Amino acid sequence: MTFSAHQLLLLDALRDEAMMSKVQVREHNHTSAIMMQASANNTLQMAAVGARTAFPLL
C-alpha cells in the first residue's frame, strides 16, 4: 500500500496530536497530585493549630 504525501502529513499530524494528549494528561495528573498534597498539608497545619488551641499545655 502506498500513501500520498498528503496522507503521510495527516498521519504525522495525528501522531503529534496523540503525543501532545499524552503529555497533557501527564501534566494534569502531576498538577492534581501537587494540589492534593498542598491541600493535605494545609489540613494538617489547621489540625495542628486546632490541637494547640484546644490543648495549650502540650
Residue 55 has what pLDDT? 86
Residues in the chain: 58
Q: Dihedral of CA 33/34/38/39: which sign?
A: negative
Residue 58 has what pLDDT? 58
Distance CA 14, CA 7 (A): 11
Apex CA 40: angle with CA 28 and CA 22, to 5°? 10
Residue 57 has what pLDDT? 72
Distance CA 6, CA 46 (A): 59
Which ranges constitute the DSSP H helices of 1-58? 5-54
What is the residue-level pLDDT of the chain in tens, covering all 58 positions? 688 998 989 989 989 888 888 889 999 999 999 999 999 999 999 999 998 888 887 5
